[in-house]
Structure 1
Amino acid sequence: MTQCTELWVDRGNYRNTKIVSEASRPLKAGEILVAIDKFALTANNVSYALSGDMIGYWKFYPAADNWGKVPVWGCANVVTSECHDIAVGERLWGFFPMASHAILEPGKIKAEYFRDVAAHRVDLPGPSLYSSYRRTQAEPDFVQQFENQRCLLFPLFATSFIIYDYLIDNDFFGAQQVVIGSASSKTGFGLAMMLHNDSAVSQAVIGVTSARNKAFVDSLACCDQIILYGEEPQIDNTLATAYVDMSGDTKLTTALHHHLGANMVESCMVGASHWESSGDVGELPGAKPSFFFAPSQIAKRDQEWGHGVAMTKAMEASFKVALKVKDVVEVEWINGAEAVNTAWQDLLDNKVSGSTGIMASMLAGS
């Protein structure tokens, strides 16, 4: 029997965790067991926990009682297979738990990917995004060479692209400037770079960040203006503004809405790097704050452009940004369940800089 080690998170208290190690159950017909040898840890994973009940992220890999397994983006090898179309030794990229191993049930199998069609996933969101697993050995060599960036940056920059597309699709809601909360986050500066580098975008890009991360954001040269938390009045409130919130900071959202008033024409929350400052904002001036759900925009574009086109565009845009920052984001490798737990706590405390990318493994001997 394969020993599987997982990090479980208390769904009511994210700092309360436990390491669970037990023998993996026997596979059923059609299932595969994969060994996850690398996965990324970013503020995005905190967002998955924060919205786990609302969107369903806890349900991808169910745990007992009030515990949950936070999903991560990573790579894995098939080590046991009861699925005739998936061979032992295949390399996969996709949505896994913080764990050493996972059981998947491949279906809708194509040369390049398959979907996990386990019964508990039938009604879960974003099947083409969260339940699809790329069979990477069928992909071009140059793609395979960017495994770390694919785990660490591509999912975040893909979200950046979907937000970028959402703003363009809606003509920026009439905004003349875009304010990005927590601009040092990878999704934040990814969006800023896509907007800033698009010659067709005339809107100014304003990044809001901490004093600690200001130099990093400045080095990326992707913002027309950088504002520190607490300095929101420096933003021109005579201009129609779209706010994209990567921080989840209620205080920041409230300050911006009151400063901009009716000129806050769009306000959407994407991430939660400052998750402990989140909460009900109540009635605010300007556009009503809403939660941005990327799969909804992807589904809209699938209808308009054809299935899979939006994600292809997102991956292409992600690849371009990843190449630009490959020497800026320093990869930090950690091994073992205890190290992963420490990194998780650091993410909760917002201690991980946007210039650092954590890659992890919980496999024994890794």
Structure 2
Amino acid sequence: MAHAWTFAVARDDLTRTSISDGVVPDLADGEVLLRVDRVGMTANNVTYAVLGESFRYWQFFSPSRYGLDPGWGLVPLWGFADVVGSTVAGVEIGQRVYGYLPPASHLLVRPERVDAAGFRDGSAHRADLPSPYNAYRLTTGDAAYRVDEEDLLVLFRPLFFTSFMLADQIADNDFYGADALVLSSASSKTAYAAAFELRGQGPRVVGLTSPGNVAFTESLGCYDDVLSYAQLETLPPVRTAYLDLSGAPATRAALREHLGDHLIRDIAVGLTYQVPNTEAAGEFFFAPVQMRKRGADWGRDELDRRFGVAWRRFVDELGDRVEVRVGAGPEALRTAWLDAVAGRTPAQVGQVLQL
């Protein structure tokens, strides 16, 4: 039997990890076997783990299906996989898909709604989970796909989708009447991709970041102003919407004290510092909600088209500002995970794993 492996983290201690061996599962009728190939590792993946219980991220890849105890979790990753076994018409061995993948060598899926664009995993344990995370897109039917840009896709596409939907929701709500949009963790990929979409739309776009990341964040050219957290008190007292991607309580407290009633919106988007911030903020942004709205407003094809146009602009603008570092195998995946959890990955670096 061919070899398989799984990388897992302890749900109560994200620095405790396990790499276990296994066997490649046999296929039942209606199933397809994917070989996980190339994935990205960013702070976004840490967010999935921190919010694993409350947002059900742990449920996508149940540890029991990989022979693990419930105390372990499989952190979802975005990337590419190849079809290596299929009992489903329309899904052929050798096809390559992009989607939500486990930190493991293989994934069994039950494709439904198969078409030229791809399919959805109809496995029972994923049936009531957010639909966008269950989609697997064929590279041959993906307008955003270019073979020489796979690394950018695994690093940025899920983040850019969140950023694209965040910017769209803000614009869809007339920018909440704000004169300024302030983003924390401004050097993070999700933040600056959102800033790229928002700049020039009306309100000033201001990035808050650590002192060591100010120069890099300024070099991106997507913020009207970049301030270190220590300079927060220089923000002008205008109607401000705060987009919190850091989850740092001290930043929120300082912003509220400085701006007072001028802080008209406080939206949690992520948590770079692994502090759940959904309760402290006024509201929480969840991309699939805005995606469903726009799917109804525009239809799937138009949503895909608009995303593709925005993605192309972003990639062309990004240029070579990101240094892609590629590791190979499960041990490299472990190292990349621990670096992400500890915040050791420099803002300008993107970690890609060839598995």
What TM-score, normalized by structure 1, do the two folds share?
Answer: 0.91
- Post-superposition CA distance 1:285-312 (Å, at most 9, x none): xxx5222111011111122222353344
State the alpha-carbon separation in 2 of the partners of residues 22 and 206 from structure 1: 49
Please tell me the root mean square deviation across aligned C-alpha atoms, in Å: 1.7
Unpaired runs of at least 5, structure 1: 283-287
Cα 1:78–1:206 shift into 2, 3 Å: same
String of CA shifts for 1:155-205, please: whole Å, max 9, x gaps. Answer: 111111111011111111111000000010001111111112x4xx12111
Say which SS state the counterpart of residue 146 (structure 2) adopts.
Answer: helix
Match of 1:310 in 2: 303
CA 1:58/1:315 → structure 2, altered by over 3 Å: closer, same or farther? farther
Among all aligned residue pairs of Structure 1 and Structure 2, give the percentage whose two residues are the same amino acid.
36
Contact 1:269 1:289 in 2 (8 A): yes
Matched pairs, number = 350
Tell me how far apart the structure 1 counterparts of residues 185 and 202 of structure 2 sit (CA, whole Å).
Answer: 22
Tell me which of 175, 193, 197 is aligned to 1:194.
197
Q: Is the 8 A contact 2:205 2:225 kept in 1?
A: yes
Amino acid of the structure 2 residue aligned with 1:134: R
Distance 1:259 1:18 in 2: 45
> Aligned match of 1:135 in 134, 138, 159?
138
- Which structure 2 residues correspond to residues 312-331 of structure 1 after superposition, within 5 A? 312-331=305-324
Match of 1:285 in 2: none
SS of equivalent residue, structure 1 residue 153: helix
Q: In terms of mean alpha carbon deviation, does 309-318 or 257-266 score higher?
A: 309-318
Could you say what secondary structure the match of 1:184 adopts? coil
- CA distance in 1 between counterparts of 2:128 and 2:100 reads 16
Partner amino acid for 2:242?
Y
* Alpha-carbon separation, structure 1, partners of 2:277 and 2:143: 45
2:174 to 153, 157, 171: 171
Shift of 1:267: 1.1
Query: Shift of the alpha carbon at 1:216?
Result: 0.6
Distance in structure 2 (CA, Å) of the matches to 1:30 and 1:40? 29
Match of 1:253 in 2: 252
Cross-structure match for 1:220: 220
Cα-to-partner distance string for 1:7-66 (whole Å, 9 max, x where unaligned): 111111111111122112211111111111100101111111111111111111111312
- Displacement of 1:279: 5.5
Q: CA shift at 1:330, angstroms? A: 0.9
| 8 Å contact kept, 1:184–1:353 | no
Task: Assess, with a 3 A threshold, how the Cα gap between structure 1 residues 85 and 220 changes in structure 2: closer, same or farther.
Answer: same
SS at match of 2:28: coil
Q: Tell me the amino acid that sits aligned with residue 31 of structure 1.
A: E
User: Which amino acid in structure 2 is aligned with residue 344 of structure 1?
Assistant: W
Change (3 A) 1:280 1:45: closer
Q: Which residue of 1 aligns with 2:243?
A: 244
- Unaligned ranges ≥5, structure 2: 64-68
Do the aligned partners of 2:76 and 2:100 also contact (CA within 8 Å) in 1? Answer: yes
Distance 2:249 2:137 in 1: 37
Tell whether the 8 Å contact from 2:256 to 2:263 is kept in structure 1 after alignment: yes
| Alignment correspondent of 2:104 | 99
Q: Give distance in 2, aligned partners of 1:278 and 1:298.
A: 23
- Residue of structure 1 in register with 2:164 after alignment: 161
Q: State the partner residue of 1:147.
A: 150
In structure 1, the residue matched to 2:269 is 270
Cα distance in 2, alignment partners of residues 184 and 121 from structure 1: 33
CA distance in 2, matches of 1:6, 1:240: 49
Q: Do 1:154 and 1:315's aligned partners in 2 also have CA atoms closer than 8 Å?
A: no
Aligned partner of 1:179: which letter?
A: V
Contact 1:79 1:88 in 2 (8 A): yes
Asked if the contact 1:73/1:151 (under 8 Å) is kept, the reply is: yes
Alpha-carbon deviation of 1:215?
A: 0.9
Whole-angstrom distance in 1 between the partners of 2:6 and 2:349 = 24
1:77 and 2:105 matched = no
CA contact (8 A) 1:175 1:265 kept: yes
Paired residue for 1:45? Answer: 45
Aligned counterpart, 1:299: 292
Q: State the shift of 1:260 in Å.
A: 1.2
Q: Match of 1:156, as an amino acid?
A: L
TM-score by length of 2: 0.94
The 1-side partners of 2:220 and 2:94 are apart by 39
Instruction: Report deviation, 1:144.
Output: 3.6
What amino acid is aligned across from residue 165 of structure 2 in structure 1? I
What are the equivalent positions in structure 2 for 1:27-42 lying under 5 Å apart?
A: 27-42=27-42
